[in-house]
Structure formats: structure tokens, C-alpha cells
Amino acid sequence: MTRTLFHRLGYDTLRVFARVASVLYFRLRVAGREHWPATGGGLVCANHQSHLDPPLVGLTCDRRMNYLARDSLFRVPGLAQLIRFLDAIPIDREGSGLAGLKETLKRLKAGELVLIFPEGTRTHDGEVAPLKPGFIAVARRSRVPLVPVALDGAFQSWPRTSWLPRPSRLAVVIGPPIGPDEVAAMSDEDLLAELEQRILTCHSQARELRENHRPLGAEVAGQ
């Protein structure tokens, strides 16, 4: 999609600010940034621990990230203006969600990255819940790589029971993508299981990265 210079510079400025804030406040560490697709579309599939997750995943990537957001958030003063500026895609969770699905496919086919959370909702215990199969139709129709991502520490920082985040070590790991040819060759059941296993592997690595803080191969966000 076409964006003005103001929108491009604004997004880049916010990303730099988020990187600095995350390193200073959360001591964020990132691994696997080499797995981000350099060009073309990509369906980014991450576990969901807190409200921090969309910006945390986005700041680890040098490309612009598109986000899905509940349509009700577009009616919240202040937040609505921000997510519109960030090109969030409204999703009607109470209805069919067809408009959001069409816009997601449009952006993927236009060569953009779109972040989704296949668990469907935030975790209740910090662990990865079973994935829902809703992403499969999008993956098959868009023919873009599926990029597995996992976060750890966001649940401890901002659980469902808290109004605001608190300082906590955070880690993000990006795993090897599942290519479109691989997606086409798998059954729905196998694709669901493969993506879930890759997210679980990333989550295990993120937990180790967070707990050890600086294992070999880790990098500071933004380096």
C-alpha cells in the first residue's frame, strides 16, 4: 500500500524509540533476526502473552509490520489514532471477520508482513496454548512464508490481571520460516502441528534467552 513520507518516517521513528525503551526498561534480547524475509509478503505467527506483543515483535524487524486489531479498539480515543497511523487491520471478532480477512490477504499479496496470533487470545499462564486453524486458509491463499515467532517475559510483565506493564526481562526469538511450497505440500493437520512445534521451539529458546540473559548468539534489539 502507498504511504506518505510522513507515515514512513513516523513509523521508523516509533520503532527506534520502542527499541531503546525496550532495551532500557525490559532489557530486551532478540535472536533469529536473520530469519525475517528480506522482501515479499510474510505471515508472522507469534504466541500471545500480553498487550506488549505487537510492538515487541514489530521492533525486532527492520521492515514495516502490519497488525490485526479488534474493531472496538478503533473507537478508543487516542489509541484509535495511533493504530490507524500504524495501518492496523480492524477485525470483527463478533462477526464473520470477512473484511479483515480480505484486507490481510491484500497486504500479504502486496508484499507486506502481517502479524497474527494463532492461539486466538492471550495466554492465562505464560505457556503456548494450542493453535487455532484459522490461519491456514490465509496461508494457503496468500502463498507467503509463515514466520514463527515466540516471546517470553511479556506475561510476567503485563498479565491479564494488571493495568500497566512492570519491568521484566523480555526475549523474542524468530524461527526459520515455513515456505509456501512446504505449506502447499502439507495437510491442514500437519501444517497446524508443524507451526505449533516451531513456535514451541522458539518459545523454549526465548525462555532460555531471557533466563540466561546473554547466551551465545543473542543480540540486543536493534543491533
CA-CA-CA-CA torsion for 48, 25, 34, 61, nearest 10 degrees? 70
At 219 the pLDDT is 54
- Alpha-carbon distance of 221 to 74, in angstroms, equals 29
φ and ψ at residue 219, rounded to 5 degrees: -140, 155
Task: Say which residues have a Cβ less than 8 Å from residue 88's Cβ, sequence separation at least 6.
Answer: 66, 67, 68, 69, 73, 74
Strand 42-46 relative to strand 113-116, pairing: parallel
Q: Name the pTM for this structure.
A: 0.90
Buried b (16+ CB within 10 A) or exposed e, 84-123: eebbbbbbeeeeebeebbebbbebbeeebbbbbbbbeebb
pLDDT value for 217: 42
pLDDT at 195: 98
The per-residue pLDDT string of the chain (223 residues; one tens digit each, 9 = 90 and over) reads 678 888 889 999 999 999 999 999 999 999 999 999 999 999 999 999 999 999 999 999 999 999 988 888 888 888 889 888 888 998 876 554 678 889 999 999 999 999 999 998 899 999 999 999 999 999 999 999 999 999 999 999 998 888 889 888 999 999 999 999 999 999 999 999 999 999 999 999 999 999 986 543 445 455 4
Q: Supply the pLDDT for residue 194.
A: 98
**Which of the listed CATH numbers 3.40.1130.10, 3.30.1360.120, 3.40.50.1980, 2.60.40.3880 matches domain 5-220?**
3.40.1130.10
pLDDT at position 13 is 94
